Amino acid sequence: MTRRTLRENIFRILFRVEFNTVDEMKEQIDFSVDDIEELTDDDRNYIVDKANNIISLIDEIDNIIESVSSGWKLDRIGKAELAILRLAVYEMKYDSEVPFKVAINEAVELSKIYCNQDAKSFINGVLAKVEE
């Protein structure tokens, strides 16, 4: 499975955070990975570990997003955009294997699929401020 596909599956899990409690997320992660076809053990572990790491740091990640998204409270940001931002901020701040530019580019690419047309500019702008 490509890194992009892995990232997209993690995004889908993170999207569920807004609709479930932290305790329910373990079950949601299990449901999500069980639905993925042709998933190797390594891919499953990668998705589960990264999703759990992001969820465990969600308060810190949200603080970073709020601090750089001037005029935007988290509850005003679309759910898909927020999940994408959380994934990208995690990769930028906590995952040394992912270069900043890759995290930003992948976030913009996800927004082209899952968000409205204006979201890519918003996401790019927010993440550019995180990079500073």
- Does residue 132 have a pLDDT over 90? no
The b-or-e profile of 107-131 (16+ CB within 10 A means b, else e) is: bbebbeebbeeebbebbeebbeebe
List pLDDT tens digits, range 81-111: 999 999 999 999 999 999 999 999 999 999 9
CB–CB of 86/58 below 8 Å? yes
- What pLDDT does residue 70 have? 80
Structural domain count of the chain: 1
**Percent of the chain, pLDDT > 70?**
99
Evaluate whether 88 touches 65 at the Cβ level (below 8 Å): no
pLDDT band, residue 72 (cuts 50/70/90): confident
State which residues form the domain around 81: 3-131
Q: What pTM, to 2 d.p., does this model score?
A: 0.95
- Return the CATH number at 109: 1.10.940.10
